[in-house]
Amino acid sequence: MENSKNTGWERGSWKERKSLHQPVYSNSSAYEDILLKIGSYPPLVFIGEVENLKKQIADAGMGKRFILQGGDCAERFIDCSDRLIINKIKILLQMSVILAYGARKPVVRIGRIAGQYSKPRSSPTEIIDGKSVPTYRGDAVNMYGTADSEREPDPERLILAYFHSVATLNFIRAIISGGFADLHHPYNWNLHSIEKTREWPMYNETVERILDAINFMESFGGLNPESLGKVDFFISHEGLLLGYEEALTRKDSSTGKYYNLGSHMIWIGERTLFKGSSHVEYFRGISNPIGMKVSHRIDTGHLMDIISDLNPRNEEGRITLITRYGSEKVAGHLPGLIREIKKSGLKVTWSCDPMHGNIIQTVGNMKTRDFDDILKEVSLSFKIHRESGTHIGGVHFELTGEDVTECTGGALDLQDKDLHENYETYCDPRLNYTQSMEMAFLISGLLK
């Protein structure tokens, strides 16, 4: 047994459980060699950072911080460029300033970035231009092109995933330590599109107040460029490809604990969260803070058993329950879950993912989400937590810093017919820059 602290757990013990959404490689010895290679590469993150995030998530659970987690549904290798990475960090920093203003508490920023390269898919094949092809499973697995050869899982892509994650995180660390302050300073926000909305006077007041507060602090020398530039930023992705995750799992020689050092936080997706799942088994043995995506499909009793399994010492900050019911179902399911969790005494940090329960198909068969449905799930979740006497510790979004047209509604009132203009996502539709900023203003209002 590799780890006496987790009974029966070994790095590879997940292989004896039920593994869903794992690619099948035709050349399995090449796959095994690649995992060995990845296992010999340096980790992306440091244990101290992971433990620091866990403390901050614990604080969020107690209402002392607020978590903003966001980024692409599926990160793409072709987006690993300075401009696009800067824009992703910029939108998250700007939103975090607006949220911190409303919440009057520090915001924990966690990107869905530097490793979000694999996707669980509902079907092994999809129909493209009338032809059935194997499903795209994320850049770490296969290509987006639709030829059968492009859709064949290729283990070499795991190496590419590792190096794209490394390059992305390296650049994030560089821009942040190099004084990124100006990008989350409101002087540099690009709000032209939001200025057209009816609600602009309200948003503008928030911007003015933030500017005022910053100016006031700066006039006392309290917010010098160094302190403004010194922001924490954490990375996260869905821990889906267990061979890859196992290869990045390392033992802390001083404590004997295991950590996934490919990311600060990883989460178990809704489709792989069930009793007896390989994913639950793998996550049980690592000491990172972990997320669990919860929908109406999981039985509450099973969920509580899994939480106890994953967090036997009931450590605060270890578990973030990311609920994603959809705007229509949240009121029917969230209050009961909160009640049961409270009764059990299990320590969790609550977060709301208002994206994944609100996917709709347009008449033209494009996947979209409507701004109002997303907002409705967020505001209902806030209300339900308030009425239940629990803290909503954070929010989880699929968003981008670009002007894409993937979700409808929002300040520019995008319609179904506008979606084809700049629909870029390889998987789920994301809020664009304007929609994300507007969402931040609205949530900031809810946090007050």
Contact positions toward ligand PEP, by CB under 6 A? 73, 120, 238, 269-271, 293, 324, 356
Q: Which of 75, 281, 406, 428 binds Co ion (CB under 5 A)?
A: 428
Give which of Co ion, ligand PEP, none residue 157 binds (C-beta under 5 to 8 Å, depending on kind): none
If the CB atoms of residues 206 and 260 are measured against ligand PEP, the closer one turns out to be 260
Nearest approach, Cβ of residue 273 and ligand PEP (Å): 8
Of the residues 34, 38, 57, 73, which one makes contact with Co ion according to CB under 5 A: 73
Minimum distance from residue 73 beta carbon to Co ion (Å): 3
Min. distance of Cβ 319 from ligand PEP in angstroms?
15
Residues 281, 411: Cα–Cα separation, whole Å:
44
Among residues 73 and 348, whose Cβ is nearest to Co ion? 73
Minimum CB separation of residue 204 from ligand PEP in Å reads 33
Task: Supply φ then ψ for residue 447, to 5 degrees.
Answer: -75, -20
Token digits of residue 382:
């806030």
Side chain identity at residue 335, one-letter code: P
Q: Minimum distance from CB of 395 to ligand PEP (Å)? A: 13
Those residues with Cβ within 8 angstroms of residue 195's Cβ, 6 or more apart along the chain or in another chain:
204
Based on CB atoms, which residue is closest to ligand PEP, 57 or 74?
74
Shortest Å, Cβ 370 to ligand PEP: 18
CB of 59 to ligand PEP, least distance (A): 23
**Pairing state between β 234-238 and 131-134:** unpaired
Rounded to the nearest whole angstrom, what is the least distance from the CB of residue 249 to ligand PEP in the complex? 21
Rounded CA-CA distance 138/79 in Å is 13
Nearer of residues 61 and 269 to Co ion, judged by Cβ: 269
CA atoms within 13 A on the CB side of 33: 6
Q: Tell which positions 213-272 bind Co ion, by CB under 5 A.
A: none
Task: Establish if 322 lies at the interface with Co ion (CB under 5 A).
Answer: no
Identity of the residue, 63 or 120, whose beta carbon is nearer to ligand PEP in the bound complex: 120
Which residue's CB comes closest to ligand PEP? 269
How far is it, in rounded angstroms, from Cα 179 to Cα 262?
Answer: 25
Cβ-Cβ contacts under 8 Å for 413 (sequence gap 6 or more): none
The one segment of 33-41, 73-81, 157-165, 262-270 that binds Co ion by CB under 5 A: 73-81
Nearer to ligand PEP, 55 or 121 (CB): 121
Q: How many residues contact Co ion, by CB under 5 A? A: 2
CA separation for the pair 221, 152 (Å, rounded): 57
Angstrom CA distances, 22 to 25, 138, 436, stand at 9, 12, 32
Q: Residue 293 CB, nearest distance to ligand PEP (Å)?
A: 3
Distance CA 443, CA 95 (A): 10
Task: Classify residue 147 by burial, with Cβ atoms within 10 Å: 0-12, 13-18, 19+.
Answer: exposed
- The partner residues of 266 in beta bridges, in order of sequence, read 237, 290
Q: How far apart are CA 248 and CA 263, in angstroms?
A: 9
Residue 238 or 370 having the CB closest to ligand PEP:
238
134 φ/ψ angles, rounded to the nearest 5 degrees: -60, 145
Binding to Co ion by CB under 5 A, coded x per residue (else -) over 371-410, reads: ----------------------------------------
Rank residues 99 and 407 by Cβ distance to Co ion and give the closer one.
407
**Both structure tokens of 177:** 């330590």
Classified as helix, coil or strand, 33 is helix
Binding mask 31-70 toward Co ion (x if CB under 5 A, else -) reads: ----------------------------------------
Helix axes 371-388, 433-447, angle to 10 degrees: 20
**205 close to 222: Cβ distance less than 8 angstroms:** no
Looking at the Cβ atoms of 91 and 100, the one nearer to Co ion is 91
Residues that bind Co ion (CB under 5 A): 73, 428
